[in-house]
Structure 1
Amino acid sequence: MSHHVFITGGGTGIGLATARALAPTGARFTLVGRDGARVESAASEFEHAQGFSCDVSDEDSVATAFATARDRYGAIDILINNAGITPSSPLHKTTLAMWNQTLAINLTGAFLCARAALPDMYDAKWGRIVNVASIASLMGGAYIAAYCASKHGMIGMARALAKEAAKNGVTVNAICPGYVETDIVARAAETIAAKTKLSEEEARASLYAGNPMGRLIKPEEVASAIAWLCSDGAAATNGAAIPMSGGEI
């Protein structure tokens, strides 16, 4: 039987690329995101998929999303925690609201979704959870303290849950990409250009300056690694934090 895959932030970028990577396996998809129209449009690309709005930082919204997912496609087999935001601010100018929102979406959202998915996986004695973290999970970064804290937390949660869930046939891992060719990175380049004398192209290049490959990572490259982590061939990979940064870290 094909797996039911629940992807947060599933309308664009890594989330959508992951659905495309898993589609040849016959998977059924529930794609969620803040923009309901966007994830609904993304879902229309696949034979067996649904897409709708969900605020992963809200407990009731997550509960409703998982209930809707199960109503159509049954138990959840694979969870991809991909939803996230990337605010930028010096720490001394970071508001509590900005800090709380970043952790709520990036980290608490992953917790709420994992908690909702685990009963299905435990019943099936099989499951895969992949947290889409960041190289910011493995190193610091100026002006992104809230983001770094949230992404470090995603790895900590993955490693802890990996120890808990292994006896039930569930693996939990984190993938840690460098700067990826996504809408978020495009907006980051625009912000840098607006605040500096750099052109937008120069700002974009500054983001991957630390990557020895001299380019942004492609969403499809990250998706390929995620698809492998979801496979039976990755059954012994558990509690890992895998960098995908072209050698930057």
Structure 2
Amino acid sequence: MIQALPGLRVISCLGAGFDGIDVSAARARGVEVATTSCALAADVADVAMGLIIATARAFVGADRFVREGGWARERYPLGRSLGGASMGIVGLGNIGSAIARRASAFDIQVAYTARRQVEGAPWTYFAELAELARWSRFLVLCCPGGRETYRLIGENILSALGTDGILINVARGSVVDEAALAQAIAVGAIAGAGLDVFEDEPKPHPALLASPRVTLLPHIGSATVETRQKMAQAMVDALVSALEVD
């Protein structure tokens, strides 16, 4: 498409990632590429924290337990505390940094991995993803999608996360090998998962749908009235800036 548009000057994407854009081809042509990641970072970070709390404390199951009358018969199983827990963040961009700041307010220990150490970031840096996973109780994905991160989280990383670990994905479904995740949860290789994105949306792996240890959302990270308005404006602003329109 880029080749078919000789007058193309800017690509402005209504979203956080570049994974739907051939950035190399655009840059080779001198075409500016912009996203709206700054506008949506706060709401996506809120959803990530919501998934962490909901999964660690099994809120969805607890709601069902009350509605179905279980409370009158027995006590609900214990959850896991957030305070003092360790959180590893994969990708410390706008969203990852916003999650880290929120996690600190919950007294969660934060570390991260990224393509390179982020200058000035106050959190511990791990050069190796597997080492970060071993350190983490919560492993939070907010890295870009695309070829470089395709199925970055597979059996080996899930094994490193371990039986007390919880995987949180607010990045792209393509970052996780969903069949491997479903198997890890089924056999208790990890404790659970909170997912807002999936490999084949809107069709999560059937085993994830069946598991009570998985919290599932329909890709709603940026889905608020306020943020969608900000995203639309940011998209227009990028066009206006690149085209130098008054």
Q: Same fold (TM over 0.5)?
A: no
| Structure (1/2) with the larger helix percentage | 1
**Larger radius of gyration between Structure 1 and Structure 2:** 2
Bigger relative contact order, structure 1 or 2 (CA pairs below 8 A, ≥6 apart) = 2
